[in-house]
Structure 1
Amino acid sequence: MVERYADRFGAALTAIAADTGQPAMTMLDRYLEPYLQFAGTPDRVCLCGALAGEMPALPAAMRDRVARFFAEHQAWLADILERGRRRGEFVLADEAPRVARLVFSALQGALLVKRTSGDDGQLDDVIAVLKRQLTGGTGAG
């Protein structure tokens, strides 16, 4: 199940990045869609994000796949962030891979906090602040 989930998400990332003519923010918005869908339900989170809290108890193969899922997403985000920086769409406060870690961690964390607190605005607020940061304070939330 984890393999299928990660593969589906990976295929979506490949498709998003393949359309090089679209703005980087549009690519990021498309990346955010599943997170927003998860947040729109009371009990859904990213499967790999949920499993990360249980890493010591998981079989080695599953731990490896969850870790690879995280690495793949962070690498994808770094590529999109760098693409946006090169095009003048994004202002990055640090190197793209480090900003990608921040973005990914903030999104995953926001889903877990929303699930725990029931605060429906949790993810929306995180996304709005991330977008403002990426656009140098000019992006709409």
Structure 2
Amino acid sequence: MHSYLINFIIFLFIHFLPLFLAKKEIAFLQCIWRHGDRGPSKLPYPGDPYDESFWPRGWNQLTNLGMQQMNELGQFLRQRYVEDWPFLSSSYDPDEVFVQSSDSKRALVSAQALLHGLYPVIDPDDQFDPNLNWLPIAVHSTGANNEARIFFIVFDH
């Protein structure tokens, strides 16, 4: 029994060694995420004191927490794919990054907040307004009539 285990370990070592010695390089990166925290889509129950006026941007819209979550996700992606595993440029390159969103306001704002975290203004030449620490980056929308290609199919049980 002991010799089978040793042979098996040697077998694994020989077959998987090239995977550990191979140069690891990212060739393509695709990230999929949902929007950040949002307000409810409707009054949760009759008489709920937190009606639509309670939510600064209204029903279904991103909250400040949701914007912060997406900005932090952008910072995480920057740390991982710009700093730790250099794959993306440190400044925004429109030929390198393509962001597509559904046409909902919360999804578009989520994408903008994420991009703000991923590409903060570092180079003063990128800053079009010295009082505004923000770099406009294009977010492509599918349009309300063409959203089926980015939504997952949901099956009723």
TM bucket normalised to smaller: 0.3 to 0.5
Greater relative contact order (Cα 8 A, min sep 6): structure 1 or 2? Answer: 1
Report the TM-score when normalising by structure 2: 0.30
The structure having more radius of gyration, on CA atoms, is 2
Report the TM-score when normalising by structure 1: 0.33
Bigger fraction of residues in helix: 1
